[in-house]
Structure 1
């Protein structure tokens, strides 16, 4: 009877370890940290840089800072991404693999002056 209990505890411990190590959320968090990252500053209708060149067919992360005094919204219809940032805040968007080409993005709150492009090569 003691041997059955010991075997059951060992099997349970091994299963718990396997489930912990194969946790997709853990892998996803690690992946987001390791992605090639590009910086974008949004400030009251101005994008810096307004052109971001990235490698094609590779996921990337764009770290966005709103250094302005008004809210900003990173938006790309082609990439199906949008992120609203309060003044003085920072966030990011992860973009999956992009085929070679140009992908427009803009500040939805300042469309007249804040237009940019991501160029995947």
Structure 2
């Protein structure tokens, strides 16, 4: 019986440690910041980690609405003037992906996953 109690205590200790650590939160992810402003996307080359979860934080510092979009990545996010929002990417394969502002067709960038 003593061995069973020891195993149970060890299991409970590991279980309790897991509860205090909790699952990985979005706040624990690498954050890549992008600024959109009235037809300009900065940076024009957005470097992100390949095969890793990350958060793309997009800020519209302009005076008109913007829409961050990538047809290849099947992602889009519309933002009002002066707002910030995020897109969580589970993982993306290494490569270069086109990004644009659907409201300002001249605004283009590349998202490069390495």
TM more than 0.5: yes
Instruction: Tell me if 1:82 matches 2:80.
Output: no
Q: Which runs of 5+ in 1 are unaligned?
A: 1-17
Q: Partners of 1:72 and 1:117 in 2: how far apart?
A: 17
**C-alpha deviation, 1:41, in angstroms:** 0.4
| 1:116 equivalenced with 2:109 (yes/no) | yes
Residue 87 of structure 2 aligns to a residue whose secondary structure is strand
Residue 42 (structure 1) shift: 0.3
1:66 and 1:90 in contact (8 A); partners too: yes
TM-score, reference length from structure 1? 0.73
What is the CA–CA distance in structure 1 between the aligned matches of 2:90 and 2:73, rounded to whole Å?
9
Shift of 1:53: 1.2
Which protein has the bigger strand share?
2
Aligned length: 95
Structure 2 alignment gaps of length 5 or more:
1-15
* Structure 1 runs (4+) greater than 4 angstroms displaced: none
